[in-house]
Chains A and B, each alone.
Chain A
Amino acid sequence: MPDIFDASKSKEKPIKKPAGIVMKEAKPKTKPEKAAKLELKEAEVKKKRQSVAEVLKRERTTGLFASVSVRPPKIKFDTQEKDEEVILLLRKHPITNFGWIFLTLVFAGAPLLVFNIFTESFIPQRFMMVSILAWYTVTISFAFEKFLLWFFTVSIVTDERIVDVDYPTLLYRRISDTKLDKIQDKTVAMGGLFQSIFNYGDVIIQTAGEQPEFEFAKISNPERVVKILNMLLLEEEQEVLEGRVR
């Protein structure tokens, strides 16, 4: 029988380590290499498959009075869920305020014009004073109300749904929302001189929900909004396929 080498019986001296060199012993691997590779791959796939919210974070466009704010920071709304992220905040294009701003300026100038024309008046001075003050207060009220209605009438697109906050009058509020997966059809409508010059228009969204139609009225750059909506819809479909629906 051939001799079997037994290390314990070996008379050879063990190799001595040089005094100055400290040999590091290889640590035992906690995970097999295959698993580590898989993890790396998953991380890469995750990187590639960034959510729309993350992608748009880099394209953030904000402004206090902007018509379209992409990923606006600090914006929260009443019915927002904990994990829900605001992707778009939409309101009418600022140029749509031209009418009431012009009217306000006319109202502000009207008393001066009237007094220049009617220099003599039968109205007592005290009445004149109160009327002028009342006129300017009403003008301020008018402008303030118009501003409030414009500023707070918004549509919000989150990574889960569309929320429409509507104020037909100052004392009436209507908030409606629909899930993104209920969106069926999107239409961009643009027309007219002002809309062509300032690049704004309507985005009409048809849904399968209770409210059949959502309208983002007179928003700037409607094509970009539709593109972002398409990205969100694709993401939503992907989530459904992967069973990650919230």
Chain B
Amino acid sequence: MTPFEKFIDNLINFEGGFDLWSILKILALILLLFYIVFGVAVIRQVGLMSKALNGSLEFPVKIIAWIHLGLIVFLFILALLAL
């Protein structure tokens, strides 16, 4: 059983044992989902900021914003698989 299947199984099968760590995992994943939304918002905001004031540092800032989102997505996947 893959970790994702295990996770789904845990979600469906309440008697299968909703221990403290499973609840924490679900909470962490929900939080990380919100975090991903935040990461996307940052990218959007950086775009708007660069449009409002351009001519300096837009490119590096955009790159950092994308790396930031990448990190969050990586963290979500890691939490999904490892927890």
Report which A residues bind B (CB closer than 8 A): 64, 72-78, 124, 126-127, 129-130, 133-134, 137, 140-141, 144-145, 148, 151-152, 154, 156, 165, 167, 170-171, 173, 175
Interface secondary structure of B, over-half rule? helix
- Bound-state CA distance A73–B56 (Å) is 9
For B44, the closest partner residue in chain A by CB is A171
Instruction: Identify the B interface with A (CB < 8 A).
Output: 21, 24, 28, 32, 35, 38-39, 41-42, 45-46, 48-49, 51-57, 61, 64-65, 68, 71-72, 75, 78-79, 82-83
Do A129 and B82 touch across chains, with their CB atoms under 8 A apart? Answer: yes
Q: Closest CB-CB distance, B56 to chain A, in whole Å?
A: 6
Task: Report yes or no: A151 in contact with B52, Cβ–Cβ below 8 A.
Answer: no
Select from chain A the residue with minimum beta-carbon distance to B53: A77
Is the beta-carbon distance between B49 and A130 smaller than 8 angstroms?
no
* A152–B78 touching, CB < 8 Å: no
CA distance A167 to B79 in the complex (A): 33
CB distance from A138 to the nearest CB of B (A): 8
CB–CB A141/B56 < 8 A: no
